[in-house]
Amino acid sequence: MHKYCFACGMPMSKREDFAQGDEHSNFCLHCVDEEGAVRACEEIFEGGVQFFMSELDGDRQLAEKTTRKNMRMLPYWQNHECGLLSGEVVSDEEFAEILKKLS
């Protein structure tokens, strides 16, 4: 069974996927710094954009819209402000298609 990072949505199945190797963490290794604090929204957003660009033929605008849609749905961002998340997003249909490509 996979857990998903509360901040970026990355699937976490192996110990090394989790923040600080803690399988009880709700965050992945990319979203937490060395002290165990969740990274800034801008860093997580840019990481998501880079990931989706690598999967979407380098289309930065599409990657930003996809990252925004993804992050807005995640538990961590329900209670944390992030100006980068207010903007244009992909449609539900586009998002479903992108997720299907990733699996």
| Structure confidence at residue 103 (pLDDT) | 78
Do 8 and 48 form a contact (C-beta atoms < 8 A)?
yes
Do 20 and 28 form a contact (C-beta atoms < 8 A)?
no
Sorted by where each begins, the domain ranges of the chain are 1-39, 40-103
Over residues 13-35, the pLDDT tens digits come to 999 999 999 999 999 999 999 99
| Structure confidence at residue 17 (pLDDT) | 96
Do 57 and 34 form a contact (C-beta atoms < 8 A)?
no
| Structure confidence at residue 1 (pLDDT) | 58
Over residues 2-16, the pLDDT tens digits come to 799 999 999 999 999
* 44 closest CA partner among 24, 21, 74, 20: 74
